[in-house]
Amino acid sequence: MKFTRVLFGVFALLLSGATITLVSQEKHSQTPVGYTYAPTSEQTLRGWVVETKDFQCPVTGTVGSHITVKNETGSMEIHLAPASFMKQYEINIRKGDNVTVVGSRITFEGKSALIAKSVAIGHETFNFRDQSGKPLW
- Whether residue 58 is contained in a domain is answered as yes
pLDDT tens, position by position, 91-124: 999 999 999 999 999 999 999 999 999 999 999 9
- Whether residue 135 is contained in a domain is answered as no
pTM of the model: 0.75
Query: Per mean pLDDT, which range of 4-8, 19-23, 45-49, 99-103 is the poorest?
Result: 19-23
- Whether residue 137 is contained in a domain is answered as no
Q: Residue 57 maps to which CATH number? A: 2.40.50.140
Within 1-137, strands assigned E span 42-57, 62-71, 74-82, 98-108, 111-121, 124-127
Are residue 12 and residue 51 in the same domain, yes or no?
A: no
Q: What residues make up the domain containing 25?
A: 1-30
Are residue 14 and residue 75 in the same domain, yes or no?
A: no
Are residue 91 and residue 123 in the same domain, yes or no?
A: yes
Instruction: Count structural domains, the chain.
Output: 2
State whether the Cα torsion 23-24-28-31 is positive or negative: negative
d(CA 103, CA 37): 8
- Mean pLDDT, range 118-133, rounded to an integer: 97
